[in-house]
């Protein structure tokens, strides 16, 4: 995420042998330019005073480390590919994909953290349950609340994120979720509104991140340093909910969702569904200016940052920009100093987690959806990404064994088929996973293709240097079943 001028170092694993104040006091501000640093890199070796870069095989191992793909036997979604490439250590991006168990629909999301990985990890683990519960009709919700034990609301895929903080705070998080269920049950609804459910899930989880810190502190003076670490770090999110031909996108911050569509002329076009919440979005600037007094117009946005510090203008967590100054003084200042309160902090909250919700009715010409953190979009445009995935779809068929189209095919036809396949193999992508394909081109792409030396050099950079040049990248590509969509009623 482009908030490289602020980094809040928060240790979520709070060891006994180090003081909490040391862990939470490492906040610094630094405008880091995006330039290439040519100092020696951690994965390079030196032989006879000559630097040896990573081999193509070593590059591929790094790029494919976090890739995943899943097929679906029926429905509008045929499959999805996902991958992540870290720049920060540890990576601050997370992702999650899940099937709703008690209602139809797939939920997939990308979460880009800042100020440490804590908030993004927690949101990726908790948010889909909040959304799935809000999607339950009233009768199913009441039955679910009464269950003991309760069945799972979601079935997650590729759940590799091992967030120790989630286990440590399980009792607190379960209590918050049960209270959330009670509030949902008290809100009578005749029918489910997906847009309202998405917003409700996101907003209520964000409120819980604050309440889990403030309420115990106000009640008995207890301050849970782990819930505080989550509330002080932040995350932006882009979440899709797909049920048949109906696709909803909830966006908070500067991740993006783009649909790849094939025209009648077999040309690719990119339908950008989302709008970033940053200073390049003039509507966002006007919204923030209108929410604060005129005399703050010059201070609320400075250096293209919120209060001169934060690049995204909406996010979950980040309660340094939401709590009243008195609360910050009580819970944060004693631990991390006066810098816990940003300069010119007069009329909070300055930040919101309210998502923009978009609806898109899928048609047969919509072939795939790309959801990615801004680490990818910093390196390529939506149309470049769509064309790369489109080319990957065309070349991907050659990963599969050759199948003859009919039993009694003539030898001449077989020869023609093999010659065509040989020619087409030139376009076969290096990676089966399209998310890996995009990341490879984002890092090493040139106008002439992928440059191995560039790719190898950039993948060799240590995290402190790498972050000056690129961000963490997380990419999920969802493929649609055109035949299923063709048979859906208009």
Q: Copy the structure tokens of residue 362.
A: 């899928």
Q: Where do we find the tokens 């077999």?
A: 266
pLDDT-derived band at 15, boundaries 50, 70, 90? very low
**pLDDT computed for residue 480 by the predictor:** 98
Query: Mean pLDDT over all residues of the chain?
Result: 87
**pLDDT computed for residue 54 by the predictor:** 95
pLDDT-derived band at 90, boundaries 50, 70, 90? very high
Residues near 257 by Cβ (< 8 Å), separated by ≥ 6? 238, 240, 249, 251, 272, 273, 274, 358, 369, 370, 371
| Residue 5 in this model has a pLDDT that exceeds 60 | no
Higher pLDDT, 426 or 474: 474
Instruction: For residue range 370-388, list pLDDT tens digits in order.
Output: 999 999 999 999 999 999 9
pLDDT-derived band at 56, boundaries 50, 70, 90? very high
pLDDT-derived band at 12, boundaries 50, 70, 90? very low
**pLDDT computed for residue 369 by the predictor:** 98
Preceding peptide of 61 cis, ω within 30°: no
Tell me the mean pLDDT in the region 66-88.
97
Q: Which helix (H) or strand (E) holds 435?
A: helix 434-444
Q: Considering only CA atoms, which of 315, 322, 241 is closest in space to residue 276?
A: 315
pLDDT-derived band at 159, boundaries 50, 70, 90? confident
Residues near 2 by Cβ (< 8 Å), separated by ≥ 6? 254, 278, 311, 374, 378, 471
Instruction: Give the Cα-Cα-Cα angle 33, 382, 236 (nearest 5 degrees).
Output: 60
Q: Considering only CA atoms, which of 307, 348, 365, 98 is closest in space to residue 210?
A: 348
- CA–CA separation, 101 and 104 (whole Å): 7
Instruction: For residue range 243-292, list pLDDT tens digits in order.
Output: 999 999 999 999 999 999 999 999 999 999 999 999 999 999 999 999 99
| Residue 42 in this model has a pLDDT that exceeds 60 | no
Least confident of 23-37, 347-361, 470-484: 23-37
Tell me the mean pLDDT in the region 308-324.
98
pLDDT-derived band at 189, boundaries 50, 70, 90? confident
Higher pLDDT, 297 or 52: 297
Question: Can you give the pTM of this predicted structure?
Answer: 0.86
- CA–CA separation, 232 and 229 (whole Å): 5
Tell me the mean pLDDT in the region 393-415.
70
The partner residues of 370 in beta bridges, in order of sequence, read: 258, 477
Tell me the mean pLDDT in the region 297-310.
97
Q: Considering only CA atoms, which of 122, 133, 57, 67 is closest in space to residue 94?
A: 122
- CA–CA separation, 374 and 222 (whole Å): 37
Residue 475 contacts residue 440 (beta carbons within 8 Å): no
Task: Identify the three-state secondary structure at position 444.
Answer: helix
On the 0-12 / 13-18 / 19+ scale of CB atoms within 10 A, 317 is buried
Tell me the mean pLDDT in the region 73-87.
97
| Residue 85 in this model has a pLDDT that exceeds 80 | yes
Instruction: Give the Cα-Cα-Cα angle 485, 489, 490 (nearest 5 degrees).
Output: 95
| Residue 13 in this model has a pLDDT that exceeds 60 | no
Superfamily name with CATH number, domain 6-33+83-238+272-361: PPM-type phosphatase domain (3.60.40.10)
Q: Copy the structure tokens of residue 276.
A: 């970033």
Tell me the mean pLDDT in the region 460-476.
94
């Amino acid at each position: 995420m482009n908030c490289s001028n602020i980094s809040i170092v928060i240790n979520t694993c709070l060891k006994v042998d180090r003081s909490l104040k040391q862990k939470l006091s490492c906040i610094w501000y630094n405008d880091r330019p995006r330039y290439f640093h040519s100092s020696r890199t951690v994965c390079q070796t030196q032989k006879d005073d000559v630097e040896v870069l990573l081999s193509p095989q070593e590059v591929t191992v790094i790029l494919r480390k976090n890739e995943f793909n899943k097929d679906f036997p029926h429905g509008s979604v045929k499959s999805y590919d996902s991958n992540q490439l870290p720049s920060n250590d540890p990576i601050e991006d997370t992702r999650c994909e899940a099937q709703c168990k008690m209602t139809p629909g797939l939920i997939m999301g990308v979460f880009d953290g800042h100020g440490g990985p804590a908030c993004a990890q927690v949101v990726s683990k908790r948010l889909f349950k909040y959304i799935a519960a809000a999607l339950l009709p009233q009768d199913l919700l009441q039955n679910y609340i009464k269950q003991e034990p309760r069945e799972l609301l979601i079935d997650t895929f590729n759940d590799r994120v091992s967030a120790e903080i989630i286990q440590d705070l399980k009792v607190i998080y379960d209590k918050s979720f049960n209270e959330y269920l009670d509030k949902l049950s008290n809100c009578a609804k005749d029918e489910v509104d997906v847009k309202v459910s998405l917003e409700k899930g996101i907003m209520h989880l964000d409120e819980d991140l604050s309440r889990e810190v403030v309420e115990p502190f106000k009640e008995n003076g207890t301050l849970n340093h782990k819930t505080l670490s989550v509330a002080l770090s932040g995350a932006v999110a882009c979440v899709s909910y797909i049920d048949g031909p109906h696709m909803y996108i909830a966006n908070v911050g500067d991740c993006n969702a783009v649909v790849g569509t094939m025209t009648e002329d077999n040309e690719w076009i990119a339908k950008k569904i989302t709008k970033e919440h940053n200073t390049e979005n003039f509507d966002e600037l006007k919204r923030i200016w209108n929410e604060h007094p005129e005399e703050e117009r010059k201070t609320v946005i400075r250096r293209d940052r919120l209060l001169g510090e934060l690049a995204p203008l909406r996010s979950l967590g980040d309660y340094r920009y939401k709590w009243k100054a008195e609360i910050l003084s009580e819970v944060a200042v004693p631990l991390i100093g006066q810098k816990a309160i940003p300069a010119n902090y007069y009329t909070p909250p300055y930040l919101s987690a309210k998502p923009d919700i978009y609806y898109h009715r899928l048609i047969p010409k919509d072939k795939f959806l790309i959801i990615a953190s801004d680490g990818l979009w910093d390196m390529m445009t939506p149309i470049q990404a769509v064309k790369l995935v489109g080319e990957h779809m065309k070349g991907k068929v050659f990963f599969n064994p050759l199948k003859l189209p009919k039993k009694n095919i003539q030898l001449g036809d077989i020869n023609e088929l093999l010659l065509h396949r040989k020619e087409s193999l030139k376009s076969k992508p290096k990676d089966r996973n399209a998310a890996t394909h995009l990341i490879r081109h984002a890092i090493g792409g040139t106008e002439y293709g992928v440059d191995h030396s560039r790719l190898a050099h950039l993948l060799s950079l240590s995290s402190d240097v790498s972050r000056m040049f690129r961000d963490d990248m997380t990419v999920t590509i969802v493929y649609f079943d055109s035949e299923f969509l063709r048979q859906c009623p208009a």
